[in-house]
Chains A and B, each alone.
Chain A
Amino acid sequence: MAPSAHQMMLDQARWRWSESLFWLSSLAVLFVFPSKALLFSQIAIMGLFALSLDLILGYGGIVSLGHAAFFGVGAYAAGLMAKHGMGDPLLGLGVAAFVAAVIGWLTSFLLLRGSDLTRLMVTLGIALMLFELANRMAPITGGADGLQGMMVGPVLGLFSFDLFGKTAYLYALTVLFLLFLLARKIVHSTFGLSLRAVKGNALRAGAIGISVSGRLVAIYTLSAAFAGIAGALSAQTTQLVSLDVLDFHRSADVMLVLVIGGVGWLYGGIIGAIMFTLMQDWLAGITPQYWEFWIGLVLVCLVLVGHDRIKTGVQSMVARLGGKGGAA
């Protein structure tokens, strides 16, 4: 018997075995390459940051060249808490998420009208302003010297951060996994479907009773919170916050990472982060000064060949290996 319409709708959100495999492998790499834990935690944080960008770009259709604003705000929030005796990591994450969300909510209203170019410039402008604010408020932020004297406590009061980054990776991976599950839940919900409608055709979305502005404000705020948590993770695991967290190159990098991994897919940000960081690590070893040349080359090739072709190739490969369909 053919599946009912109800079943077909639910099937679209089904958890696939390839997803379990992905997450189990991400845990297993720590035991296979324990010396690379610090690099892995960098990847997890970059992956979360790119996931947050995917929420607005891949699902809301909002382009941003200033997403570092929220990463940076989250990093400073967590850093300042740790500096002033509130070193509990989870509390830091919570406060970072809240502060970034408030700034995201406030600035989201500037993005409701206008073209992609307007949005690129507005997001870029906001990130630039925050960068210079952090620079100017040196007594609080440490300015160009960075924030000094962070004391990050153990996670849940049990697991102290070690020199090799094992705790850092497990902590970052857990946070990434939980937030990924939340994002996955959201994009497969009716709210998520309405975002796809808004992105696909805002005029018609309004004509079937969707409050287009309301949906965009909501997803932008959520994305800002996610980016803030990524920034807080970075601050806590490296015990370091400098102006670099708000720098333009970070906004550009995260866009690059997401495009490398594929937009509108949730796994794209994480896979992009893996590819980008490993490539960066490997190429920087071979040609320390010119590694960005190769990243640029990969980016140009990827964009020209197109993800769909790569994705269909991978999916048919996965399908042949067993089971059906690829991830998400």
Chain B
Amino acid sequence: MSIALATHDLVKNFGGLRATDHVSLTIHTGARHALIGPNGAGKTTLINLLTGVLTPSQGNITLEGENITRLSQHARVQRGLVRTFQINQLFADMSPLQSLCLAVSERNQQGRDWWRVAGSDKAHVDEAEEILTRFGLRDVMMQQTRFLPYGKQRLLEIALAIACKPRVLLLDEPAAGVPEEERHEIIDILAALPKDVTVVLIEHDMDLVFSFADRISVMVNGALLTEGGVDEIARDPQVRAVYLGESGHE
């Protein structure tokens, strides 16, 4: 099996705090790989390192064999490494249609087109509309994003990443804050992602993790604790200790 994304001995220090502690992670192509761990385990820091929001203090990152450690955020996106955010990061003043059209145009290297009206390229608009339809956002695609209900915004958060045609998709708690009765929309969307897209899921919700993932890595205190198949992890006494310990605090 080929490797989609890998880190080698990745370290990130914030002053005296080591947020990422020698993490070597291998994600296989087409995997549904979950990254779990208690709050403050360094999951989001790791995502920020992978996507180029942060620069590692040490170690390197490869995407399909290419060293991307020093590449800018947008250069990684152009190579197919795309993420969503735990807290919605949307374009509040733009409509979902405009946001999606922009993402599709950027992917097609048309973002610098300063002459033609945005949306001139019918193929791009059609693709944006198709994604919006798939995500159940077609009815609200002309509204300003800021006025959309939270659940719809959460779907748009993922739709925007899909418009970048990811080869590796990093989902940072996609169901965070979504009420129980709307969760199934997110879960259905995740289940319907194309099989050739590699997905890394960061999640707190164990039901979601166990139903979606085929491989799980557990992080504690910035380091990888263990990695394995779903059953393996579910039985692992170390993991149970970490999670029981955490739930004990709640």
Contacts and interface: CB of A to CB of B under 8 A. Distances in A.
Contacts of A201: 89-92
A106 interface: no
Contacts of A211: 72, 74
A207 B51 contact: yes
Q: Sorted from nearest, which 3 A-B pairs have the closest CB atoms?
A: A9-B119, A209-B77, A191-B114
Interface stretch (A142-150, A182-190, A233-241, A298-306): A182-190
B115 A185 contact: yes
B124 to A, nearest CB: 9
Contacts of B85: 203-204, 207
B110 interface: yes
Interface residues of A, number: 31
B105 A190 contact: yes
22 contacts: A5-B125, A8-B142, A9-B117, A9-B118, A12-B118, A185-B114, A189-B117, A190-B101, A190-B112, A191-B114, A192-B118, A201-B91, A204-B90, A206-B53, A206-B73, A207-B161, A208-B82, A209-B74, A209-B103, A210-B74, A211-B74, A218-B112
Nearest to A198: B91
Interface in A1-47: 5-6, 8-10, 12-13
B181 to A, nearest CB: 27
Contact of B92 (A9, A200, A209): A200
B163 interface: yes
A222 to B, nearest CB: 9
A5 B97 contact: yes
A66 B107 CA distance: 35
A189 B119 CA distance: 8
B7 interface: no
Nearest to B82: A207
Most buried by B among A8, A188, A212: A8
A189 B118 contact: yes
A12 B120 CA distance: 11
A194 interface: yes
A197 interface: yes
A8 B102 contact: no
Nearest to A264: B93
B117 A188 contact: yes
A189 B116 contact: yes
B73 to A, nearest CB: 4
A193 interface: yes
Interface string B139-169: 0011000000000000000001101100000
Interface in B152-208: 160-161, 163-164
A207 B102 contact: no
B128 interface: yes
B53 A203 contact: yes
Contacts, number: 125
A10 B107 contact: no
Contact residues on B (Cβ < 8 Å of other chain), bracket: 35 or more
Contact of A5 (B73, B110, B128, B163): B128
A304 B22 CA distance: 53
Nearest to B141: A5
Contact of B77 (A193, A196, A208): A208
B70 to A, nearest CB: 15
Most buried by A among B72, B73, B78: B73
B98 interface: yes
B117 A10 contact: yes
Given A10-B119, A204-B85, A191 B98 contact: no
Nearest to A13: B117
A209 B109 CA distance: 9
Interface string A191-232: 111101100110111111111100000100000000000000
B94 A196 contact: yes
B32 interface: no
Contacts of A185: 114-115
B120 A193 contact: no
Interface in A170-186: 185-186
A188 B167 CA distance: 31
B113 A200 contact: no
A10 B124 CA distance: 13
A186 B112 CA distance: 10
B86 to A, nearest CB: 12
